[in-house]
Amino acid sequence: AQKVTQAQTEISVVEKEDVTLDCVYETRDTTYYLFWYKQPPSGELVFLIRRNSFDEQNEISGRYSWNFQKSTSSFNFTITASQVVDSAVYFCALSEPSYNNNDMRFGAGTRLTVKP
């Protein structure tokens, strides 16, 4: 069963629009970690955020914000006032330490294109 679902395969917006990338996860653990990574055209995955299951506070970092809701098993990512440099593939991932502390289960990714 897929542990992390990113239902949006591709999103295209115009610069300065706000955009939300959805992530829904599945776990039976009470302790788990959620991540977002950005993969620009250069290829490397860039870490954006880690959130543990006990911290449901929303987080804001500049134009980026994350909304973690355990009730709906979602960890959505919003980019405010998007820019062309935000164009990338964004991955959500889940780590379940009781299952395997080494492994992250990645979603399929959402390709975001920001047009000027």
Q: Which amino acid is at 86?
A: D
Enumerate residues 23-42 that contact another protein by CB under 8 A.
33, 37, 42
- Least spacing, CB of residue 42 vs another protein, in Å: 6
Report the distance separating Cα 45 and Cα 95, nearest Å: 16
Burial class (CB in 10 A: 0-12, 13-18, 19+), 1: exposed
Judged by beta carbon, residue 9 or residue 57, the one nearer another protein is 9
- Least spacing, CB of residue 14 vs another protein, in Å: 27
Report the distance separating Cα 108 and Cα 78, nearest Å: 18
Binding residues for another protein, how many (CB under 8 A)? 26
**Interface residue with another protein, options 77, 105, 110, 112 (CB under 8 A):** 105
Residue 108 near another protein by CB under 8 A:
yes
Please list the residues that pair with 35 across neighbouring strands.
50, 93
Report the distance separating Cα 75 and Cα 53, nearest Å: 11
Enumerate residues 58-97 that contact another protein by CB under 8 A.
91, 93, 95, 97
| Contact indicator for 38, 48 with CB cutoff of 8 Å | yes
Judged by beta carbon, residue 30 or residue 101, the one nearer another protein is 101
Residues contributing to the site for another protein (CB under 8 A): 2, 4, 33, 37, 42-47, 50, 52, 91, 93, 95, 97, 100-109
